[in-house]
Amino acid sequence: MSQVSPVSLLAERSCWTRSASARNVALMLRYALKRLISLMISLAVASVVIFAVIEVAPGDPASFMLGVNAQEDTLAALRAELGLDVSKVQRYFNWVGGMLVGEFGTSYTYRTPVAQMIADRLWVSLPLALYALALSTLIAFPAGIYAAARRGKAGDLTVMGATQLGIAVPNFWVAMMLVLIFAINLRWFNAGGFAGWDNGFWTGLHSLTLPAIALALPQAAILARVMRSSLLDILGEDFMRTARAKGLSRRQALWRHGVRNALIPVLTIIGLQFSFLLAGSIIIEQVFYLPGLGRLVFQAISARDLIVVESVVMLLVFAVITVNFLVDLAYAAVDPRLRGRT
């Protein structure tokens, strides 16, 4: 009988490994391409819906700016200056075409480029969302893992009670309590306003700390419960019992095999939370008087500044869809089974 040399076996195994790796890369690229096409279709549909909903809202920006007693010829001149004298279809394509090259138009009220207004406010809203998400994750992960590891015990009941309270209490009430305790009584923070990044990174971060905590606590409660539930499901799987049978302690099996496999639903929640924190912080920005995107939208709606409202909402939708796209890719990286699906 002919014997197969170790060198031949090694070469065959190496060839098989390279083939499997190339197949995984091809599946990942195919999955990413499909998700990218879905992203572009979603953005196109969202732009039509946003423009249609905002444009059909009652009120004329020119009339709002000049008042009810303005002359008709003056109103016509202002409409022409603002680009409101053309059809809605043409205005839609002008708006979309401008966004594709980074031109969002000019604010009706402030007469400044919308892109500059958004950029200035984004330097507040984006760090605030990232800060709140970091705090939420740092709180939720240890709490969820701790509760899952002590299921049914006092620690688990305490964490679940705290998370239930965190979900029930609205974040604006948390914000007001933080201002009352840490700004008015203890005077550790300012009650509102933003110091600006020009005064130093830590000064700016200090200004965002209370708003970030107010945003993070309810999200941390949700994330901790998802982490606990997902980890408990994983702990009941056969491969976890196999890991225990091979000699791993409960703690070792939990950290080596449980946590990573429990991250799949948690990643989805984190992506959704970031989108919410970026797009849904308008109340917190109002409470703390922060010059962010949410406050900009509120002011633009009050002033009937349609171009600002449309552009900011479209930017937020783009951020939400893009984050979901990245979460899908992370999902596929963690769970290879998803790469072969639609």
pLDDT digits (tens, 9 = 90+) for 73-83: 776 776 776 66
Residue, of 316 and 279, whose pLDDT is higher = 316
Q: Which residue, among 124, 120, 116, 99, has the nearest Cα to 46 in the 3D structure?
A: 99
Coil, strand or helix: which one is 113? strand
Q: Are 109 and 303 in contact, with CB atoms under 8 Å apart?
A: yes
pLDDT digits (tens, 9 = 90+) for 140-188: 988 888 888 888 888 888 988 998 888 888 888 888 899 899 988 888 8
Arithmetic mean of pLDDT over the chain: 79
199 in a structural domain? yes
Which residues partner with 113 through β-bridges? 106
- Give the confidence band of 5 by pLDDT, cuts at 50, 70, 90: low
Split into its structural domains, the chain has a count of: 1
Look at residue 232 and tell me whether its pLDDT is greater than 60: yes
pLDDT of residue 87: 76
Question: How deeply is 265 buried, as exposed, middle or buried, from its count of CB atoms within 10 A (0-12, 13-18, 19+)?
Answer: middle
d(CA 252, CA 146): 14
Most confidently predicted of 112-121, 131-140, 294-303: 131-140
Q: Averaged over 219-240, what is the pLDDT?
A: 81
Q: Domain containing 241 — which CATH number?
A: 1.10.3720.10
Q: Are 276 and 320 in contact, with CB atoms under 8 Å apart?
A: no
pLDDT digits (tens, 9 = 90+) for 208-219: 999 999 999 999
Q: 3-17, 84-98, 206-220: lowest mean pLDDT where? A: 3-17
147 in a structural domain? yes
- Give the DSSP H or E segment for 175: helix 171-178
127-to-106, 122, 184, 274, 324 alpha-carbon distances in Å: 25, 8, 24, 11, 19
65 in a structural domain? no
d(CA 186, CA 217): 20
Most confidently predicted of 100-114, 126-140, 260-274: 126-140
204 in a structural domain? yes
Q: Quote the domain boundaries for residue 144.
A: 114-338
Q: Averaged over 52-64, what is the pLDDT?
A: 69
42: tokens are 């979603």
| Exposed e or buried b per residue across 293-330, where buried means at least 16 C-beta atoms within 10 angstroms of its C-beta | bbbbbeebeebbbbbbbbbbbbbbbbbbbebbbebbbb
316 in a structural domain? yes
Look at residue 1 and tell me whether its pLDDT is greater than 50: no
pLDDT of residue 211: 92
Q: Which residue, among 292, 308, 291, has the nearest Cα to 110 in the 3D structure?
A: 308
d(CA 18, CA 12): 10
| Exposed e or buried b per residue across 178-200, where buried means at least 16 C-beta atoms within 10 angstroms of its C-beta | bbeebbeeeeebbebebeeeeee
99 in a structural domain? no
Q: Averaged over 313-323, what is the pLDDT?
A: 85
pLDDT of residue 9: 46
293 in a structural domain? yes
Residue, of 14 and 36, whose pLDDT is higher = 36
pLDDT of residue 244: 65
69 in a structural domain? no
Amino acid at 34: K
Look at residue 131 and tell me whether its pLDDT is greater than 90: yes
Q: Averaged over 42-69, what is the pLDDT?
A: 75
Q: Which residue, among 100, 130, 123, 105, has the nearest Cα to 115 in the 3D structure?
A: 105
